[in-house]
Amino acid sequence: MGLLVVVITVATLELVWLLFKDITTPAELLLNVEQMFELFGFFLMVLIAMELLATLRSYLYERVVHVEVVLEVALIAVAQKVIILDTARAGGLTLIGLAGLLLALAAASWAVRTVRRRGGSPDGQ
């Protein structure tokens, strides 16, 4: 868990450095499209790492894996991939695969929340 905290700290510092470097570099626009995609990618990577840390902490202290949190992390990871994806270079199968993965994760998230609202526990307890 300590190593994950170090990774999150380094990634956050890298994000701050990239943002500072991109803002202070003279250009026509403040940030171009490539720089924005790079910043979004780093931001979402830090967010994913923080969610993984919360999941790991929950498992270590409570000995419970929260399915909703794991699905949220997976949805954020797929969203990051979709946001930073270069559609000009990505093939049709890649796009279909990402769409299928996104639909499967959304359906699983919906099913878990529906079970939880009806009084069940998708965590197996």
Which residues 6+ apart lie within 8 Å of 76 measured at CB?
A: 44, 47, 48, 51
Over its length of 125 residues, how does the chain's per-residue pLDDT go in tens digits? 788 889 889 988 988 888 888 777 776 666 677 777 778 888 888 888 888 888 888 888 888 888 888 898 898 889 888 888 877 888 889 889 999 999 999 999 999 999 988 886 665 55
* pLDDT score of 108: 95
Count the Cβ atoms, other than its own, within 10 Å of residue 42.
20
The set of residues, in sequence order, having a beta carbon less than 8 Å from that of 1 and lying 6+ positions away, is 53, 56, 57, 60
**Six-digit token pair at 99?**
């769409």
Residue 101 pLDDT: 94
Dist CA 45 CA 50 (whole Å): 9
Whether the model clears a pTM of 0.85, i.e. scores above it, the answer is no
